[in-house]
A and B are shown apart, each in its own frame.
Chain A
Amino acid sequence: MFKRMLERKPGGVVDFMLSAVGRLSRGGWLYWLWLVLLLGVMGNGGFHYLDQLRHGLMITGLSDQISWGFYIANFAFLVGIAASAVLLVIPAYIFHRQEVKDVVLLGEAVAVAAVITAMTFVMVDLGRPERFWHMIPGIGEFNFPVSLLSWDVLVLTGYLLLNLLIPFYILYCHFQGREPSFRVYFPWVLLAMFWAISIHTVTAFLFSANPARPFWHTALLGPRFIASAFVSGPALMIAALQIIRAVTRYPVSQKVMHMLALIMTIALQISLFFVIAELFTDFYNEGSHSASSRYLFFGLDGHAALRPWVWCALGLNLLAVLILMINPLRENMFFLNLACLLAFVGIWIEKGMALVVPGFIPTPLGEVADYVPTSAELMISGGIWAMGLLVFTLLAKMAIPIELAQRDRPAEAVAGAAATT
């Protein structure tokens, strides 16, 4: 029976997968240049990671005082990117908007790449990566449901599988020249929607679960994470879709851009409002709960490594929201792209380093120290980001030809295929 399944019969699963993978070896010089560039950055990161394996995490700027840094900052940010794929999933599968349906697979590819990248950031942060199997239920000791970290592992793995499964089914149907069955995919899409919100909520809870760290221990952290994710996610998607539109003949409607830009505008307004709410609570009556914020925004005991960064992030986000709030500017692709860039970097600082690091400063015993990532940390992180881009590139490369072929088929042929299956 297995032998029959593995046979490459036209239109079968094996044929589908082989032809999808086969697409990866066909591309122009730009494609190959891009791959070589990414592999180069990854190789450089890998080389530095070997160094970290050899000498331990001492090659990072981390310490007992500030025990999480750049890796975990990128992790928190990337979970947000992954979660925001839901912004395409809802209009595409629930409201059946055709122009969104056209690009929803690309959104899911972004989610897959972002989850893999986020998980890799956690892996490189481990002091004992070879003991990873201790987390696998059954052979390890998975501390579920008590540990929030075990929740995070669970929801991220589930989200990754959902975002592989749904596009796999849809692409497979299109490969066979038929429309996917709504009854088959809809329950999974529904699940994936709630799951998307859950991954970022759980990641926020991972931080806000700690009364030992007053900076994180706020009920606003979950909402803040979701709001800022709906800024950074669309910003990335708008950029990715324009690149796809430029390098392929894939149909990317301007309507999708407008929709994403509008979501981004509202989310950024909410996100900034949340920042103001935090600042007010911290500084109107300044107590020990505000020490981390004081460190972050103004510096504490002569330490202020993050001060320029957080003000820069605030400035970028304010500028972005100003551009986005003026309709003619938002509809102008140059200004929209500028706003996307500003907000993406702004949120990356705000939800990354400016969220993770001040939680540790001052320490629970009142010690103040700074943390600055080392060049090795930056190189390793760069390698991981390049890996994420590579994953997205390869997924898009496999999916786009199948989608184009489906679009080129006459409508009667698709209907006929649906009738026979």
Chain B
Amino acid sequence: MSTNPQPDQPLDQYRRGFLKKLGLVGGAAAATTLPAVGHPAWGGSTLGDAVGDFFQSHYKRMDPEEIEAALGRIERRAKKRLGVEIQVANTPPIPGVVFGYAINISKCQGYRRCVTACVEENNQGRDSQVQYIRVLQMDKGGMNLETSEHYYAPETVPVDGKFYLPVQCQQCDDPPCVKACPVQATWMEPDGIVVIDYNWCIGCRYCMAACPYWARHFNWSEPQIPAEALNPVTHYLGNRPRPRGVVEKCTFCIQRTRLGRQPACQEACPTGARVFGNLLDPDSEIRYVLENKTVFRLKEDLGTEPKFWYYTDV
């Protein structure tokens, strides 16, 4: 399909090109001519943008023009608050792709490089210290999460007698969080990624109670990111700056993976413990792992069908 993103094509260019084909860029330009009030009362937005945000419809109900206007509002807000030019894409799912992830826990050494790479890629609040990945230091000889150490800080890792279990959103195929949401602000995309419309979430946090993997995090205050640390390449359903009072989560780096790239955590892992790819592609590495390794899933008994596996070398 010609509208599919190319890995070497700059994101913003891709999006504008896609919309130009639909003849929609003009509509977005008109929206930018609203008077700039710039009073903090509107949370760093103009009055026009604040009103636009308030009346913004559900992601799946918006037509391309409304989506373009929504993306423009997020970009202008980042510019106004932090002085950073960001691009908010709305890259669609690639047909014939369902993403899956596998981690080789024999290889994981507990360095937590995936954790920091994730925070930098996905623009989590630095003050709130939201992290989508939690690496558990586990006692060898069992799989009891309750005896795991979450905040391990030895001189060097790995520690004798321990192994490491990174946990993040398991992108369940029957996600209990999606069932819980009273306003359908979270759903599973055709490529298997469970996403949140951060402009539709009402912040009731029922999804957080429903998640068996503690994968969902709430913005208890406005997320603070230093301007120089902000990753400007973003996706509406992914790492674009989030507002206060909404739930957020791992999206398998939707802004990267829908362009054919690997998630930031996979790239950052120095031990090569992480395998990410298309479950529908029989030649993919992830399929090789699932077919040739003894794999297991966390809390499989709950019936959530995670698209996230663990395996060992032995």
Contacts and interface: CB of A to CB of B under 8 A. Distances in A.
A365 B167 contact: yes
A107 to B, nearest CB: 30
A131 B219 CA distance: 16
Of B61, B204, B246, chain A has the most CB atoms within 10 Å of the CB of: B204
A19 interface: no
Given A56-B220, A58-B221, A366-B148, A153 B182 contact: yes
B246 A128 contact: yes
Contacts of B134: 365
Given A127-B202, A210-B210, A366-B148, A64 B182 contact: no
Contact of A212 (B54, B58, B200, B302): B302
Contacts of A56: 219-222, 244-245
Interface stretch (A140-148, A157-165, A177-185, A316-324): A140-148
B184 interface: yes
A25 to B, nearest CB: 37
Interface stretch (A37-45, A272-280, A356-364): A356-364
Contacts of B150: 365-367
B145 interface: yes
A63 interface: yes
B183 A211 contact: no
Interface in B141-187: 144-148, 150, 167, 176, 179-185
Contact of B211 (A128, A134, A141, A364): A364
A141 B204 contact: no
A213 B219 CA distance: 22
Interface residues of B, number: 50
Given A57-B245, A141-B58, A291-B146, A149 B204 contact: yes
B18 interface: no
A335 interface: no
Contacts of A291: 146
B183 A142 contact: yes
Classify the secondary structure of A's interface with B. Answer: loop
B69 to A, nearest CB: 18
B136 A135 contact: no
A12 to B, nearest CB: 40
Interface string A336-368: 000000000000000000000001101111110
Interface residues of A, number: 47
B167 A360 contact: no
Given A127-B245, A131-B202, A366-B145, A143 B217 contact: no
B218 A147 contact: no
B183 A58 contact: no
Contact of B208 (A64, A126, A131, A367): A64
Given A57-B245, A131-B203, 4 more contacts: A56-B222, A64-B130, A148-B180, A360-B209
19 contacts: A64-B208, A67-B209, A125-B204, A126-B203, A127-B203, A128-B201, A128-B203, A131-B200, A134-B200, A135-B202, A141-B200, A147-B182, A147-B206, A149-B181, A359-B209, A364-B145, A364-B212, A364-B213, A366-B145
Interface of A: 55-58, 60, 62-64, 67-68, 122, 125-132, 134-135, 140-143, 146-150, 153, 206, 209-213, 288, 291, 359-360, 362-367
